[in-house]
Amino acid sequence: MARPFLFGTNFKMNQTPVESAVFYQQLAASVQIPPDTHLFVIPPFTSLPAVKDVVGQPPHGIWVGAQNVHWAPDGAYTGEISVGMLRALDVDLVLLGHAERRRYFHETDVELNRKVLAALSASMRVLLAVGETAEERSFGVGGETVLRQLRIGLHGVQPEHLELVQIAYEPVWSIGAGGTPASPDDVEPIAKLIRSGCQDLFAGSGAGIPILYGGSVDPTNAGTFTALPDIDGLFVGRAAWTVEGFVATCHAGYEGYSKGDRAIG
């Protein structure tokens, strides 16, 4: 059995509800989704109802995700959103641990673990982002950092929830406008480490957890990352913020994926 190809984008703090709905509608009309593929879009919270309205018409098979969630079911947490609130909108996935959440909002691994467990216990898919900063890399502790984020983030996850888990490896130094694009040689050893970390945590079943790569991916380099044996998909920012860019980057990534060998037994 091979792991599926996953491809998606996070719009961060961009797009009005109308802009998100139009993007989603045009995307759904522009792509044909092979059976071994899952696409997803992660708009701001305020766009979720509008996007889900569009999805509600015909089912397009594109997952709609949220950019964060709180671990508590309800309570005195002004400004936060609960898993139940996302469930009520039929949201398919939640992104946790994006580098910007860790950096600007000081989210810790322990808090992220609480969020992961809360989302999974409500049967919501989780995309957990991990990645080392430039400073951590310069001290030679990039791999250690990523493994720590993974081990704490996924601590206590029950085997029956593993099929809801995806990992995005996003080296912090490579993401966003100021980022330095990574090479496949940079990504390969860390992806391998994540794969073996998942296997250590969950024995054989950890091998099936999809690992996505993200950081300055575009149509010119997408296939070089997905050709790596431990990279099963892409999590893309800027290059996928137009429908054309999304489709072109996705196609390039799928081509690389199709050439790779991801048999997991």
Told to check if 41 binds ligand PEP by CB under 6 A, we report: no
Smallest distance, ligand PEP to C-beta of residue 205, A: 27
Query: Position of tokens 């522009």?
Result: 30
Told to check if 132 binds ligand PEP by CB under 6 A, we report: no
When binding is defined by CB under 6 A, the residue of 153, 215, 219, 260 that contacts ligand PEP is 215
Smallest distance, ligand PEP to C-beta of residue 235, A: 6
Active-site positions? 98, 170
Smallest distance, ligand PEP to C-beta of residue 238, A: 4
The residue among 9 and 82 lying less far from ligand PEP, judged by its C-beta, is 9
Quote the longest CA-to-CA distance of the chain. Answer: 51
CA distance linking residue 164 with residue 151, whole number of Å: 17
Rounded to the nearest 10°, the torsion over CA 135, 136, 139, 143 is -150
Restricting to residues 9-38, name those near ligand PEP by CB under 6 A. 10
Restricting to residues 158-187, name those near ligand PEP by CB under 6 A. 170, 175-176, 179
Angle at 165 between CA 160 and CA 170, to 5 degrees: 160
Told to check if 44 binds ligand PEP by CB under 6 A, we report: no
Smallest distance, ligand PEP to C-beta of residue 62, A: 18
Told to check if 217 binds ligand PEP by CB under 6 A, we report: yes
The residues of the shown chain that bind ligand PEP, judged by CB under 6 A, are 10, 170, 175-176, 179, 214-217, 235-239
